[in-house]
Amino acid sequence: MKRTLLSLWIAFIFGSLYGQQTGSVIMENIQAPSLTKNIIGEPEFQPLAVYLPPSYFNNPAKKYPVIYFLPGYEDTIAAYTKGYINGYFSKINEFKYNSRPVKGSNYGYC
């Protein structure tokens, strides 16, 4: 009996983990007018990472609250999408914020 209950419990846990939908990350370039002809040579167009939750594709007309993610000084969104932010996106389904888009850009220029 214990073995059967344990097997059912394990199947339930792993089934719920693998059954979770995941969102997607879209990388875009947006214009940052404050960087036009800047003296330090930063490009005027900056990368922007947008995480779209799974529910977005079912109902794109729905209004969503947005979480903004800005890397710190000397960091870039490209570095974060390869490291920290991917971990964040992979864990986002575990939290109550799993139906919110997340946007990130370089240094807060945009």
In a domain, 9, yes or no: no
In a domain, 1, yes or no: no
In a domain, 47, yes or no: yes
Q: How many structural domains are present in the chain?
A: 1
b/e map 74-106, b = 16+ CB within 10 Å: eeebeebbeeebeebbeebbeeeebbbbbbbbb
In a domain, 42, yes or no: yes
In a domain, 55, yes or no: yes
In a domain, 66, yes or no: yes
pLDDT tens for the chain, 110 residues: list them: 544 443 444 444 444 444 456 677 777 888 888 888 888 888 888 877 777 777 788 887 888 777 676 665 666 666 655 555 556 666 665 655 555 555 555 654 44
| Containing structural domain, residue 88 | 22-105
pTM for the model:
0.53
In a domain, 5, yes or no: no
In a domain, 15, yes or no: no
